[in-house]
């Protein structure tokens, strides 16, 4: 996701400085080149050697220590950066930036850069609530600086309240969003994910192996690229991406209701959920006890076909379906594409290694309404999500026809 990106990470003097080490590790793992600037106070909490080892690059501290004979440190770092991330960011640093002060390597680099700057505050809850601090942050937001606000929790000082540094994973996600193309801005995308559960009694249900990973990857990728995302999810163990409209459901009936209620405001619908085809005709009010009989029969009735209803109710929306099959992949996918009135269907054989449920990769084949198809190689579900969004952009906004000169 961040391959080749140049990220400057600023670390200031606070107990949360140790959490910046995990953030640097995430950036490096994603393919970025990371350059760390530490304030002198930060070195009292974490040694520069820690960040040098994690980043693979020298750590910068001294304003007057030139990177090379021809480069002035803060200018070189400012020009090199695709994004500058300050984590943790103290109230003191926010005040300095808001006041235009540039008295150390970090503040001069921030002053000199044209790259986006992401600030990740961490401080005592009373400092966070202080109107002076809040005024400084509001001023920086107005000037185009970006923030990942702190969360509530037990602080190092013993206080309980807002001021704890956001999770490194959330900071990473916001960084990726800042660097991603905003080519889905203006789109509202409804995505369904995960399985549904159809209850037999208060302790048992019918379901499937869907983990929700594909749908959540799509929601995260669409959010990064500027879309407004509505994520309707069955039960999963996944955390929903930040800043999406999250609707948690359990049964197929609940998913149907949530989807149809939000359909009119969407420009794109992606049905990645594995919805149960049948449900018990009756739900027992008490736990069904094991009797003496050797066999037990369940009376099942058909669930509503949500995707078919979307196809009938859509008014100009682009509709994408998924087909998880174990045999006759193309025949089943094409039948579903036609019967549900879809624009595109993404099919995969879940019996193949690394292409089914509960794994991080997928091997998919796409079938379009116009008869075209394409086979993608095995790749991560994150990569599948981004490439699928590229396909939807092409379908939503076809390239203009190039006319020859004189026509």
Q: Which fold has domain 6-179?
A: Rossmann fold (3.40.50)
What is the spatial distance between Cα 215 and Cα 211, in angstroms, rounded to a whole number? 9
Q: Outline which parts of the chain fall under CATH 3.40.50.1950.
A: 6-179
Neighbouring-strand partners of residue 121: 89
The DSSP element (H or E) to which 54 belongs, if any, is: helix 48-55
Looking at residue 69, what is its pLDDT? 44
Whether the ω angle into residue 88 lies within 30 degrees of 0, i.e. cis, is yes
Looking at residue 127, what is its pLDDT? 92
Q: Are 222 and 191 in contact (CB under 8 A)?
A: yes
Active-site choice (157, 237, 266, 391): 157
What is the spatial distance between Cα 382 and Cα 221, in angstroms, rounded to a whole number? 7
> Which CATH number is 188-278+302-396 given?
3.40.50.10300
CA nearest 300: which of 234, 206, 209, 208? 206
CA nearest 255: which of 193, 212, 344, 183? 193
Q: Outline which parts of the chain fall under CATH 3.40.50.10300.
A: 188-278+302-396
Low-confidence ranges of the chain (pLDDT < 50): 69-70
Tokens of 264: 């009119």
Question: Is residue 148 helix, strand or coil?
Answer: coil
Residue 89 annotated to the active site: no
CA nearest 194: which of 216, 174, 173, 172? 216
Angle at the Cα of 235 from the Cα atoms of 234 and 237, rounded to 5 degrees: 130
pTM of the model as a whole: 0.85
Q: Are 310 and 334 in contact (CB under 8 A)?
A: no
User: How far, in Å, are 4, 49, 119, 144, 153 from residue 129 at the CA level?
Assistant: 38, 34, 17, 22, 15
User: How far, in Å, are 62, 87, 128 from residue 91 at the CA level?
Assistant: 21, 12, 8
Looking at residue 153, what is its pLDDT? 84
What is the spatial distance between Cα 330 and Cα 367, in angstroms, rounded to a whole number? 9
């Amino acid at each position: 996701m961040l391959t080749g990106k140049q990220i400057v990470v600023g670390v200031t003097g606070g107990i949360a400085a140790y959490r910046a080490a995990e953030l640097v590790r995430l950036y490096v793992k994603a393919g970025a080149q990371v350059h760390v600037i530490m304030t002198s106070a930060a070195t009292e909490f974490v040694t520069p050697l820690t960040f040098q080892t994690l980043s693979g690059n020298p750590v910068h501290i001294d304003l007057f220590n030139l990177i090379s004979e021809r480069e002035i440190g803060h200018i070189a770092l400012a020009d090199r950066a695709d994004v500058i991330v300050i984590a943790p960011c103290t109230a003191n640093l926010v005040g300095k930036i808001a006041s235009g002060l540039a008295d150390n390597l970090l503040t001069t680099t921030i002053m000199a850069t044209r790259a986006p700057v992401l600030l990740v505050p961490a401080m005592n809850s009373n400092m966070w609530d202080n109107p002076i601090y809040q005024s400084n942050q509001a001023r920086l937001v107005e000037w185009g600086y970006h923030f990942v606000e702190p969360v509530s929790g037990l602080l190092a000082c013993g206080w309980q309240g807002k001021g704890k540094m956001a999770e490194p994973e959330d900071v990473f996600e916001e960084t990726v969003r800042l660097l991603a193309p905003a080519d889905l801005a203006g789109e509202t995308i409804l995505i369904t994910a995960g399985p549904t559960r159809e209850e037999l009694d208060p302790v048992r249900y019918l379901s499937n192996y869907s983990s929700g990973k594909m749908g959540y990857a799509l929601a995260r990728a669409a959010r990064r690229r500027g879309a407004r995302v509505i994520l309707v999810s069955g039960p999963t163990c996944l955390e929903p991406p930040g800043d999406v409209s999250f609707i948690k459901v359990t049964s197929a009936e609940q998913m149907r209701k949530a989807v149809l209620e939000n359909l009119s405001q969407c420009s794109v619908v992606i049905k990645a959920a594995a919805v149960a085809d049948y449900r018990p005709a009756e739900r027992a009010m008490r736990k069904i006890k094991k009797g003496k009989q050797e066999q037990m029969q369940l009376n099942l009735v058909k669930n509503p076909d949500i995707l078919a209803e979307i196809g009938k109710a859509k008014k100009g929306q682009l509709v994408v379906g998924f087909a998880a099959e174990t045999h006759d992949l193309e025949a089943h996918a094409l039948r579903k594409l036609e019967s549900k009135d879809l624009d595109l269907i993404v099919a995969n054989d879940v019996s193949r290694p690394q292409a089914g449920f509960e794994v991080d990769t997928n091997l998919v084949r796409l079938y379009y309404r116009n008869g075209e198809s394409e086979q993608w190689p095995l790749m991560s579900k994150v990569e599948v999500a981004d490439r699928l969004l590229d396909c939807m952009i092409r379908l939503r906004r076809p390239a203009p026809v190039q006319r020859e000169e004189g026509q």
